Structure 1
């Protein structure tokens, strides 16, 4: 089953790739690797803001990380001329969680992205990962995730 078909089966339609919020490009290709800039937690309703350990729950953080994964895939699709099937492997994710100093469940939050990618992409979605705390993130969002992808 194609990645696009699997996403549709999961009820996910990739949005247009989000535009950069500052002076950078959304993705850079080097050989067969695609480096995708950090994608902030946002969905059709807007930015998903809050601080884990304060005014945001783990479940809200998981949903925010999932939204980041969808934006990452949208960026990959855009970088591949609209053909998500050019994706070969998710190589690495780095997830940043807007959290209080005593919050220690960053890995649980970033699982929202990892779980979505594994479900949607199968073996191609398996990746290495870091999940770290951030004192704050742009616009007060809960999560930001950047990724490295291998293309065919």
Structure 2
């Protein structure tokens, strides 16, 4: 089953790849690896903000991470000139969770992205990963995630 079909089955339409918010490029391809800049948590309603352990619960944080994953796939699609069949695999995710010092469930939050990638990419979505706490993130978002993809 194609990536596009899996997305459709999940009811997900990839948005246009978000434009950078500062002086950087959204992705860089080196050989067969595409390094995608951090994508912040946002959905059709706007930015998903807040701090885990204070005013955001784990389930909402996982939804924010899923939103980041959708933006990461949109960037990967742009890097593949609109052809997701060129995507070989997700190599690595690095997830940043805006959280209090006492909050320790960063992995559960970033699972929102990891689970989504496996649902969309199958075994090609299984990846190396880091899930870390951040004292704050741009615009007060709850989650930011960067990725490395392998493409053909």
Q: Indicate whether the TM-score tops 0.5.
A: yes
CA displacement 1:5-60 (0-9 Å, x = unmatched) = 11000100100000000000000000000000000000110000000000001011
Would you identify which runs of 4 or more consecutive aligned residues in structure 1 move more than 3 Å? Answer: none
Instruction: Supply the distance in 1 between the matched residues of 2:26 and 2:120 (Cα, whole angstroms).
Output: 22
**Mind listing any 5+ residue stretches in structure 2 that lack a counterpart?**
none
User: Considering only aligned residues, what root-mean-square deviation do their CA atoms show, in Å?
Assistant: 0.4
The residue correspondences of 1:19-30 to structure 2 (distance < 5 A) are 19-30=19-30
**Mind listing any 5+ residue stretches in structure 1 that lack a counterpart?**
none
2:136 matched to 1:144? no
Residue 43 of structure 1 corresponds to which residue in structure 2?
43
Instruction: Supply the distance in 2 between the matched residues of 1:127 and 1:97 (Cα, whole angstroms).
Output: 18
Instruction: Supply the distance in 2 between the matched residues of 1:137 and 1:146 (Cα, whole angstroms).
Output: 13
Residue 129 of structure 1 corresponds to which residue in structure 2?
129
CA displacement 1:58-100 (0-9 Å, x = unmatched) = 0110000000000000000011111111110100000000000
Aligned residues: 152
